[in-house]
Structures are given as structure tokens and as C-alpha cells.
Amino acid sequence: MTEQEFKQAIDMLRSEDPMTYEDGFHWLIGFADEYLEQITALMQNELNPDRRSKLIEVLGHCKNEKAITVLASELTSEHRDVRFWAHSQLEYFENPKAEEIAKKYKTENPNEDWY
């Protein structure tokens, strides 16, 4: 994926059209590790919780353990959807560290409504 293609995929991910979003999402997840730093920066600077959640979902497809720390930090968000996607992606990360963070969060936050 070139830088131009990355920018195009991010624009698609931001689309209000569900099919355009899905196309961008599926294009990006194959390159999530390669663009981990850029996706993380975009996510951290995104103020819209829905768009932030979409970037979190992409980060959940990384294999790089650096993404675990990023996802874990999103569990403190004031926005339910951001916490939901961070927790969900940690649960499915297929890494013992990520699974332990998700399990601990669930134990310490029993009132979340998505369990």
C-alpha cells in the first residue's frame, strides 16, 4: 500500500456510506501493522467517537503488540463505544497479554452493558 492508497483508505473509512466504509476498512486491515504509527496518531487526534472507534477496530487487526497498549489506553475513554471497541479488540487480539487486560477490565467494570 502506498502513502496515497493509505490516505484513500482512511478517507473511505471516514465515509458516511456504509459500503464505502467497509471497503476502506477491509483494505486497511491488511496493512494495519505497516501503518500502526499513523493509524494510532490519527485515532488519538480524532475527536469524533464514532470515527475513533473505527480506527480502534482497525488497530485490533494488528499483530504488533504495540497495538495492545494503544487499545488498553482507550478503555479509559468517556465514550461507551470507544471503550466497547477497545475491549472487543483486546478480547480478540489472540494474545495472552491483551486477553488478560480485557478480562481485568471486565472484572473491574461489571456495569458495562456489552458483556
Parse the chain into domains and list their residue ranges. Answer: 3-108
User: What pLDDT is attached to residue 115?
Assistant: 73
User: What pLDDT is attached to residue 26?
Assistant: 96
Mean pLDDT computed over 35-59: 96
The percentage of residues in the chain with a pLDDT greater than 70, rounded to a whole number, is 100
Helix, strand, coil shares, percent, the chain, to 5: 70, 0, 30
Residue 60's pLDDT band, with cuts at 50, 70 and 90, is: very high
All three cell numbers of 102, joined, read 480485557
What are phi and psi for residue 77, nearest 5 degrees? -60, 150
Q: Which fold has domain 3-108?
A: Leucine-rich Repeat Variant (1.25.10)
User: What pLDDT is attached to residue 114?
Assistant: 82
Q: Packing angle between helix 96-108 and helix 66-73, nearest 10 degrees? A: 10
Mean pLDDT computed over 3-18: 96
User: What pLDDT is attached to residue 44?
Assistant: 96
d(CA 8, CA 71): 24
Query: For residue 1, how far is the Cα from the chain centroid?
Result: 19
